Amino acid sequence: MKTYLRVPFAEKDEAKRLGARWDPAKKLWYVQNVPNLAAFERWLPAQGDLVEAAAKPAPAVRTKAAQVQTGPRYFELHCDCQPWVGCAACGPVVEARGWRAPA
């Protein structure tokens, strides 16, 4: 397992002396299969530094299709009838909201 290190340029020789190797593709120093990272501790990236992008959960997707579209005159009708049929109980309520009763 590779452990990448944040080695300042001024300390690269010391890191190399301790066994760190250079990854030219990533442009980072690393150590591989080191049982004890104590000697490299000061160069270890902070928790969540290099792994941040991979560990971050994807943001919740908010699509237009997931939203309930309502008009400005929308309201909840708490009645068991079909709102487009209407009944004696909710008819007046619906009309009071500006909706015309079915002809």
- What lies within 8 Å, CB to CB, of 85 at 6+ separation is 102
Comparing CB distances to Zn ion, the nearer of 61 and 85 is 85
Name the one residue in this structure whose structure tokens are 């079909």: 82
> To the nearest whole angstrom, how small is the minimum distance from the Cβ of residue 58 to Zn ion?
43
Name the one residue in this structure whose structure tokens are 């270890």: 44
| 28-32 β-sheet, strand order | 2-5, 28-32, 21-23
Coil, strand or helix: which one is 30?
A: strand
Q: Kindly state whether residue 79 participates in binding Zn ion, applying the rule CB under 5 A.
A: yes
Q: Contact with Zn ion (CB under 5 A): which of 6, 90, 93, 99?
A: 90
Separation CA 89–CA 92 (nearest Å): 7
> To the nearest whole angstrom, how small is the minimum distance from the Cβ of residue 59 to Zn ion?
41
Q: Kindly state whether residue 87 participates in binding Zn ion, applying the rule CB under 5 A.
A: yes
- Window contacting Zn ion (CB under 5 A); options: 6-14, 16-24, 46-54, 84-92: 84-92
Q: Kindly state whether residue 81 participates in binding Zn ion, applying the rule CB under 5 A.
A: yes
Comparing CB distances to Zn ion, the nearer of 19 and 92 is 92
Both structure tokens of 94: 């619906």
Binding site for Zn ion (CB under 5 A): 79, 81, 87, 89-90
